[in-house]
Amino acid sequence: MAIERIRPPGLVHSPAFSHVAVVPPGATTIYVGGQNGVDESGAIVAADVGAQASRALQNARVALAAAGATLDDVVQWTVLFVEGADLRAGYGAIAGELASEHPPLVTAAFVAGLGVPGALVEIAAVAALAP
């Protein structure tokens, strides 16, 4: 059984995201905690939101791989931006990689701040490996 991603009639249609995902029984669920634009030492990679978003996604990719998953296995992304960050630059740096043939669910929000000083973006994911 495959993971079903649904874009129902009556809701906005976008090639970038789906509205509903159905994960079949027996699937392995993988949760990736919030990833920031930091290197292995924990240092912010740049003051630029686009560079931080790219690195945060790279870090999420590494975390997924550690669990045997890829970006294509992601069911839902959560992308948080610090208020005042340039959403177009940040999301634009990663949007092409988040989308796939079967686009995942995406939640994006502005927040007052993040736990890592200097971080402008944080990316979390839920992935599933169908049985």
**37-92 per-position pLDDT tens digit:** 999 999 999 999 999 999 999 999 999 999 999 999 999 999 999 999 999 999 99
What value does the mean pLDDT of the chain take? 95
> What is the rounded average pLDDT of the residues 94-99?
86
For residues 120 and 36, the answer to whether their CB atoms sit within 8 Å is no
26 dihedral zone (left: phi>0; alpha: psi -120 to 50; beta): left
Q: Kindly tell me if the per-residue pLDDT of 98 is higher than 90.
A: no
Q: In which residue are the tokens 């931006």 written?
A: 81
Q: Kindly tell me if the per-residue pLDDT of 1 is higher than 90.
A: no
Which residues neighbour 51 within 8 Å (Cβ) at sequence distance 6 or greater?
Answer: 37, 45, 93
Give the model's pLDDT for residue 23: 95
Q: What is the value of pTM for the model shown? A: 0.92
